[in-house]
Amino acid sequence: MRVGPLKGQFTVISEAPLRLKKNLYFYFYEICCDGEREQNNTPFDMAASHLLLPALLCTLFVHQCHGACAEVDSDTQAVAGKNFKLGCISCKRRSEVDGSATIDWYFRPKGEADFVHIYTYNEDGPTIASDQFLDRLDWIGSKASNDIQDGSIHLLNVTFNDTGTYRCFFNRILFYEYYEYSTVVSKVVHLSVVAKASRGTASIVSEVMMYVSIIGLQVWLLIEMIYCYRKISAAGEEALREAANAEYLAIASESKDNCAGVQVGE
């Protein structure tokens, strides 16, 4: 065991994974790098070794994998009477570093100058701080962990009074071996509320491009089929001509041989 200090506390680090990795390295050397043993191996042993190599590589590196995080912008148009997701994602630059975060949401109504604190999420759970949003905000971000990277919330039963600017703050603390680092990240969502959902330009363009791609692929496949059919037909006709020529030459050669035999007999 190794013990490392962190802000006056002791952090115990297990060396079991290191011993496991070292043992696997030695096993790699034995099955891969021992030339004398490789010569004496049976085909079954060599096949088993080749099957074990990928499994051992996965065992070595699978513990180093981390879930991916992507910062996606929130939608900005809500429909009155429906629910709406206020997206707020802030990914850590180094996912292997432990951390904790608290989330604060603020709202500035359209035409107002000041932001109002409406929501907080921390290790104690969610707290709605504004009467306007009482029982209308629901946490849908990171759960079962204080290391929050997704601070999204659901806005229930949207009204036209919800039009305005929303801002969320990530108050994050990163825990390094000998110190802690605090950082604040903010995201802004400009929300507009409409009576009826309307399709955006991007959606229309995407649908048009999809149909264009489908039609284009079908036309291309049709052209390829016609080209291949003609090529195969031409090759078949050429083969028939060559066969006919070969048969004609064979008959002519046989006739010539017969004529020569008759002349010799006379």
Query: Per the structure, how many domains does the chain have?
Result: 3
In the three-class reduction of DSSP (H, G, I as helix; E, B as strand; rest coil), residue 183 is classed as strand
Angle at 144 between CA 138 and CA 146, to 5 degrees: 90
Whether residue 172 is found in the same domain as residue 123: yes
Whether residue 194 is found in the same domain as residue 81: yes
Average per-residue pLDDT for the chain: 78
Q: Is pLDDT of 35 > 60? A: no
pLDDT digits (tens, 9 = 90+) for 44-69: 454 445 555 555 555 554 444 455 78
**Considering the domain boundaries, does residue 247 fall inside one?**
yes
Whether residue 84 is found in the same domain as residue 190: yes
Query: What pLDDT shows up at residue 69?
Result: 81
Whether residue 243 is found in the same domain as residue 132: no
Whether residue 100 is found in the same domain as residue 181: yes
**Considering the domain boundaries, does residue 206 fall inside one?**
yes
Angle at 121 between CA 120 and CA 126, to 5 degrees: 90
Query: What pLDDT shows up at residue 63?
Result: 44
Whether residue 14 is found in the same domain as residue 27: yes
Q: Are 175 and 97 in contact (CB under 8 A)?
A: yes
Q: Which of 64, 85, 101 is the last residue of a domain?
A: 64
Q: Global pTM?
A: 0.54
Q: Is pLDDT of 228 > 70? A: yes
Q: What is the domain range of residue 34?
A: 2-64
**Considering the domain boundaries, does residue 261 fall inside one?**
no
Whether residue 99 is found in the same domain as residue 146: yes
CATH number at residue 133: 2.60.40.10
| Alpha carbon of residue 158 to chain centroid | 32
Whether residue 172 is found in the same domain as residue 132: yes
Pairing of strands 137-139, 77-79: unpaired
Whether residue 129 is found in the same domain as residue 88: yes
